[in-house]
A and B are shown apart, each in its own frame.
Chain A
């Protein structure tokens, strides 16, 4: 299995621009999570989906952030407009249903820098 795939790995953009981060979860996993990691705040859960349906988006910082999961193999996290304080590493993780449902498998992350 290829694991969780994220793209791009690095993104540099200017304040005000739209940023779209992409994630392909592990095939067969029913849960998908988006996290943000910074030195100051650590690893924060932004939103998670179960069977493509958003379950908890209480971690999404504000309306500039939106996430979609149009099918079981693809999800996007969009920031519009982006701001310098959005600079962070964004991780996508997926998890299977069942007894080991709490085990999360992380992608390599997208390192975002907003200038």
Chain B
């Protein structure tokens, strides 16, 4: 059974750095073709892709947020970590991690975690 779960702070202050962890099971990030990424969704708004890391450590970032994002993986712990610097209230959103596992797109998703940016 494949599962992903996001964890991290629910509240961050403006200018702070957000660190989110995606813990997963049921697949290995060392398997060829597999990737884990992050997608966010502001309240009442659309999905926005943020970043993706592949089994071979190939990293992709949204060009709109690239300067603020870093994605890393710890294959031994089955975790992927996303950091986003200089948080702003407009970054308030539910942050999802998603796996590119069976298909060519995000086929498995975590439940999401709501992050609020406020002083």
Same complex for A and B? Answer no
A→B interface (CB under 8 Å): none
B→A interface (CB under 8 Å): none
